[in-house]
Amino acid sequence: MKKNGFTLVELLIVMAIIVIMAIIMIGIFNATGVLNKARDAQRKKDIGRIKVAFEEYHNDKGCYPNETLVAQLSLAENCGKIIFSPWLSNWPCDPNKEPYKIVVEEARFSLCNKWYKIMTQLENKKDAGIPSGWESQPEHIVAGAVTSKMINFGVASPNINWYDAAMSPECAMYGGCYYVPGVGSCNSISGCVGPNCYVGVYKNISCSSMCQVSCCGTGCN
């Protein structure tokens, strides 16, 4: 009479196959993690080099690069080219061949740019350089058209943090107003008044995608 079931040898073979497959999968995941960290290391190195170049530019010119120059540097076609000499040769771009996100003070606020931010998106979401809770917070504008969902790591000029919204000079006298934490939001009240500062249209500056908060000073939410 023929008995149904697996023999000990068959069970051992099946177990061996499972173990081999598990080892292969672990190796694939580990390899992916190593590649991610390698690309992130390159990103950190690149934006660090740009920061040094911008500071050297400032030492020579007295101002940071303006919007026009930054727009030129941010073209994908200029990746790897010598376009910011003598401060930096072979302009770096993200390992994915995309330009890094650079935002500087708007020309309408100052003829001599006083700050900059250079930002990127790290693949390793647990990287120690990413601010705590960054991935879970609501999407908000960090600078220009760059939102918190586009980036999670950066560097900036010594007078500003890369992860803070840029200060609006119009409201600095009232304690500092910052760009609103919400894409497409815009306050309808015009002018800066009181200890609470409202910015919609002020000094003929229209409210754009880079909006300011509704108020600043004590009592603001």
> For the segment 91-138, what is each residue's pLDDT rounded down to a tens digit?
999 999 899 999 987 766 667 888 899 999 999 998 989 988 888 877
In the predicted model, is pLDDT for residue 156 greater than 80? yes
Q: How many residues does the chain have?
A: 221
Whether residue 143 contacts residue 161, with contact meaning beta carbons closer than 8 Å, is answered with no
| Backbone phi and psi for residue 211, each to the nearest 5 degrees, phi listed first | -85, 165
Nearest to 96 by CA among 40, 142, 143: 40
What is the distance between the alpha carbons of residues 169 and 176, in angstroms, rounded to a whole number?
8
What is the model's pTM? 0.64
Q: Which residues on adjacent β-strands are paired with residue 73? A: none
Write the single-letter amino acid at 178.
Y
What is the distance between the alpha carbons of residues 81 and 88, in angstroms, rounded to a whole number?
10
The H-or-E segment that residue 56 falls in is helix 8-61
- Residue keyed to tokens 């390793």: 124
Q: What is the mean pLDDT of the chain?
A: 73
Rounded alpha-carbon distances, angstroms, from residue 208 to 8, 9, 132, 200: 73, 72, 29, 9
What is the distance between the alpha carbons of residues 101 and 143, in angstroms, rounded to a whole number?
10
